[in-house]
Structure 1
Amino acid sequence: MIASLVANVLEALRIGTGFLWTAAWAIIMGLIITSWVQVYVSKERMAQLLGSESISSLAKATGFGAASSGCSFGAAAIAKGLFRKGAHPMNTLAFMFASTNLIVELGLMILILLGWEFLVAELLGGLILILVMGIIIHFTLPEEMFERARDELNARDSEGGIEMDPTCGMEGSEEFTLVTDGGDTLEFCSQGCMETYEQKLAGQGGWRTELTSWGGWYKLGNQYRKEWSMLYKDVIAGFLISGFVIVFVPQSVWNTLFLKGSSTFVSAENAVMGVAIAVISFVGSIGNVPFAVALWSGGVSFAGVIAFVYADLITIPVLNVYRKYYGWRVMLYIFGVFFVTMAFTGFLMEELFDLFGIVPNLAGGKTATEQTYFELNYTFVLNIIAFALSGFLYYVYRKGLGAPSQIRDPVCGMRVEPNGISVTHDDETFYFCSETCKRAFEREPETYRSRSWEGLPSEPTHEDHGHDHR
């Protein structure tokens, strides 16, 4: 009995880690691309652009969301900031869905673990879902309830002294503050977000220019670190849970919950049940993809699986976040709109794919227990490349945080050594991470020499050497 249990646990771990190994390069590459977009795509005017109820605003919300990917909780926090500043509820919900479902890393994972059919259903279905959601909200939105929730949210945050981090939209902290040239005090959730904001102010043009400087790479490394800090728990939990579900959940459970057959009613029931399972799964963001693989391995229909993937924004923990932000009534409305649109779109995707004869055939491949995950193949090579890139970004991030001399490049804020590129201006020596930053300083020396990076000097003093002021 004990030997059998141990064998099953080991098999569950083998499958879970095997899934993670298979998708690791896709997650890393996706997060690198996401980090690049986050750093170089400006979102300052986002809330103003999402204030009206229109197809144009809905499309902008979808685009902004796809370019602002994150975990379910991060998406909810950013959406709260947008809503608080005036974004329409329809655009707020569209932003949340796009930022967790129409993103690079999720698409790559779905392609690798589930196949191209699921990827098409995720992307096409995601756009249809947002459109259907917009129609439902247009005809059902309780505007007074949402305006009241917005007023209460602003009042509560003001009374509590809560400020939103202008970098990520999360709740700011008095520990990390910055006074702008206009005298406004900004609060950030972390040192990393504050540095990102400072460096954006000091940015020198487009991404091509940024990528020639260590400061530009530091921004990318810092954002990449933040993306991982939001997602790693969901990723690890999703993969490990999927292994245990495949091994320990009997087939009879899936047969009971999900009806079998090829009728329209069966497809609809599977889609509804897929969303319901997602609500109680407690697995959000990209972590629900390996769980979806477990459902697919258990014989759940295409409609049920794709509806489950859509539904990471209405898991119980995320619903509780909505309740804290907006109150019970708004939370229930959001839940109802998301549940209906996610289940309907899952059902629609199966009917549409069946019409064109492209519903994937589960019986055509190996089961999760039959697969060999750790082999010397293209996955191994891609993972090595991805891990190397990840290590490089971490190195750049650490380099930016802790050069022993603690000297700051006055242009981009990168910490640099006192033996690199330098310029002397008015008898003061300034050091730079790259020729790009040096040229920027030479064009406008007075602009940059007065900039204070956390009070650190641009020229080293005796006390600075060998000490970490962080």
Structure 2
Amino acid sequence: MDQVGKALTIAATMGWTILWALILGFALSAVVQAVVRRQAVTAVLGDDSPKALAAATGLGMASSSCSYAAVALARSLFRKGASFTAAMAFEIASTNLVLELGILLALLMGWRFTAAEFAGGPIMIVLLAVLFRLFLRRRLVEEAREQADRGVSGSMEGHAAMDMSVTGPGSFWRRLTSARGFTAVSHIFVMEWAAIWRDIAAGLLITGALAAWVPAGFWQGFFLTGHPMLAALWGPLVGPLVAIVSFVCSVGNVPLAAVLWNGGISFGGVVAFIFADLIILPILNIYRKYYGWRTAAFVFGAFYLTMAAAGYLVELLFWALRLTPHARSARVVEAHIAWDYTTWLNLAFLALAAVLAARFAATGGLPMLAMMGGTPGGHDRHGDDGR
């Protein structure tokens, strides 16, 4: 029981440490989504040109950080005419190039990890585009589109169907501060939390268990820390595999990345691990439902190769720039909650969250949340057309 209590204490303390950053990130994401209409850019995603991939990346950065939502939204874009390559680029940007992820990485692991993530994301997108150009056959894309059009529901499809964006006349500030803009921000903010809180909670609990129960010697041996060259080669290969079996997606994998970094995984291995939220087992099953077995297998292979390659390239780039971190001092906190700046920030942002939640409830959001179930699976009850 003492060990269980220790694991829960670590999980709770780390959750308290990152709470304000999560609220800030989701609030900023909601603001962007509320004033940028998603359909406005789908017309430029019809091929795999640099322009289309840049648009897909920008759209993803302005979209959800939830892996399930990213996969469902990518399918919606694909069905509306986006190329398969652009849809997958959107997925990568939507889960790995978003504000909340960068904030948490800086908070728990340092700014160099944030820089690595934002450098590695475009690298992975370029590598994926090259792989798809070389090996993705038109027949496979046609099979995937036929399967996607059959209406097979999957996790977060209802989340993808939400479009609360405000795109009427007036300046950004005017639209944002209007009653409709306030309502849109509140709805997107609450539904984002409803979609992802289980993943964040799971990530914190897994992190607490690993930090409390797994001795440092195990990680050091597993990540070959006694052999620096082998460790650098091993890390990006094994990082995605750890992610696959951890079931933790999106922002929820940052605390676990901190544990792995302290345990000895290489810098490139951390980058590859964080990217791999798009190939965890539940999402691989969604690929199967959306696009069929053959396409799901192709996506898994292409993603794994590009995640590992991006990890290697980021490690080399940061080594050349002498920016590779060496101190294994990520914030896997065990201390008790104290009255410090973190507490005051949490209280301030909890007040902001309360205001948004109240607006959500006052404008008819609760029935929507109940109908959608507040969980990824519950969203299947909403339509399947992704509009």
2:384 aligned with 1:384, yes or no? no
SS at match of 1:283: coil
Residue 265 of structure 2 is matched in structure 1 by 300
Tell me which of 57, 72, 80 is aligned to 1:77: 72
2:3 aligned with 1:16, yes or no? no
Residue 327 of structure 2 is matched in structure 1 by 362
In 2 relative to 1, CA 278–212 (structure 1 residues): closer, same or farther, beyond 3 Å? closer
Q: What one-letter code is carried by the residue in structure 2 that aligns with 1:66?
A: M
Instruction: Give distance in 1, aligned partners of 2:296 and 2:130.
Output: 19
Contact 2:261 2:330 in 1 (8 A): no
Contact 1:246 1:297 in 2 (8 A): no
In 2 relative to 1, CA 107–145 (structure 1 residues): closer, same or farther, beyond 3 Å? same
Contact 2:105 2:113 in 1 (8 A): yes
Contact 2:108 2:332 in 1 (8 A): no
Tell me which of 135, 157, 161 is aligned to 1:170: 157
4+ long deviations beyond 6 Å: none
SS at match of 1:387: helix
Instruction: Give distance in 2, aligned partners of 1:273 and 1:352.
Output: 20
Q: What one-letter code is carried by the residue in structure 1 that aligns with 2:357?
A: Y
2:153 aligned with 1:144, yes or no? no
In 2 relative to 1, CA 139–310 (structure 1 residues): closer, same or farther, beyond 3 Å? same
Contact 1:237 1:287 in 2 (8 A): yes
Residue 371 of structure 2 is matched in structure 1 by none
Residue 377 of structure 2 is matched in structure 1 by none
Instruction: Give distance in 2, aligned partners of 1:70 and 1:146.
Output: 26
Contact 2:108 2:330 in 1 (8 A): no
Residue 183 of structure 1 is matched in structure 2 by none
Instruction: Give distance in 2, aligned partners of 1:366 and 1:27.
Output: 18
Contact 1:218 1:397 in 2 (8 A): yes
Instruction: Give distance in 2, aligned partners of 1:40 and 1:212.
Output: 11
Q: What one-letter code is carried by the residue in structure 2 that aligns with 1:220?
A: V
Superposed displacement of residue 217, structure 1: 1.1
Superposed displacement of residue 206, structure 1: 3.6
Deviations 1:86-120 (A, max 9, x none): 21111111100000000011110000011111001
In 2 relative to 1, CA 353–380 (structure 1 residues): closer, same or farther, beyond 3 Å? same
Contact 1:19 1:373 in 2 (8 A): no
SS at match of 1:362: coil
Q: What one-letter code is carried by the residue in structure 1 that aligns with 2:353?
A: S
Superposed displacement of residue 358, structure 1: 2.1
Q: Equivalences for 1:279-298 in 2 at 5 Å?
A: 279-298=244-263
Contact 1:52 1:88 in 2 (8 A): yes
Residue 37 of structure 2 is matched in structure 1 by 42
In 2 relative to 1, CA 91–367 (structure 1 residues): closer, same or farther, beyond 3 Å? closer
TM-score by length of 1: 0.73
Deviations 1:249-280 (A, max 9, x none): 23343234322256544312111000111111
Stretches of structure 2 lacking an aligned partner (at least 5 in a row): 366-387
In 2 relative to 1, CA 272–289 (structure 1 residues): closer, same or farther, beyond 3 Å? same
Residue 369 of structure 2 is matched in structure 1 by none
Q: Equivalences for 1:67-466 in 2 at 5 Å?
A: 67-154=62-149, 156-157=150-151, 170-171=157-158, 193=162, 196=164, 200=166, 203=168, 205-261=170-226, 263-363=228-328, 365=329, 368=332, 371-401=334-364
Contact 1:214 1:396 in 2 (8 A): no
Instruction: Give distance in 2, aligned partners of 1:269 and 1:366.
Output: 21
In 2 relative to 1, CA 398–366 (structure 1 residues): closer, same or farther, beyond 3 Å? closer
Instruction: Give distance in 2, aligned partners of 1:367 and 1:61.
Output: 33
Instruction: Give distance in 2, aligned partners of 1:229 and 1:336.
Output: 31
Stretches of structure 1 lacking an aligned partner (at least 5 in a row): 1-5, 173-187, 403-470
- Point out the structure with the larger helix share: 2
Higher RCO (C-alpha 8 Å, min separation 6): 2
TM-score by length of 2: 0.88
Contact 2:96 2:117 in 1 (8 A): yes
> Aligned-residue CA RMSD in angstroms?
2.4
SS at match of 1:68: coil
Superposed displacement of residue 319, structure 1: 0.4
Residue 60 of structure 2 is matched in structure 1 by 65
Is the deviation greater in 354-363 or in 43-52? 354-363
Q: Which structure has the greater CA radius of gyration? A: 1
Deviations 1:414-444 (A, max 9, x none): xxxxxxxxxxxxxxxxxxxxxxxxxxxxxxx
In 2 relative to 1, CA 374–43 (structure 1 residues): closer, same or farther, beyond 3 Å? same
- Point out the structure with the larger strand share: 1
Contact 2:6 2:212 in 1 (8 A): yes
Deviations 1:371-417 (A, max 9, x none): 52522222111111110100111122222239xxxxxxxxxxxxxxx
In 2 relative to 1, CA 171–27 (structure 1 residues): closer, same or farther, beyond 3 Å? closer
In 2 relative to 1, CA 61–320 (structure 1 residues): closer, same or farther, beyond 3 Å? same
Q: What one-letter code is carried by the residue in structure 1 that aligns with 2:147?
A: E
In 2 relative to 1, CA 216–343 (structure 1 residues): closer, same or farther, beyond 3 Å? same
Contact 1:69 1:100 in 2 (8 A): yes
* Identity level (%): 38
Pairs aligned (count): 365
Superposed displacement of residue 138, structure 1: 1.3
SS at match of 2:335: coil
Superposed displacement of residue 37, structure 1: 0.8
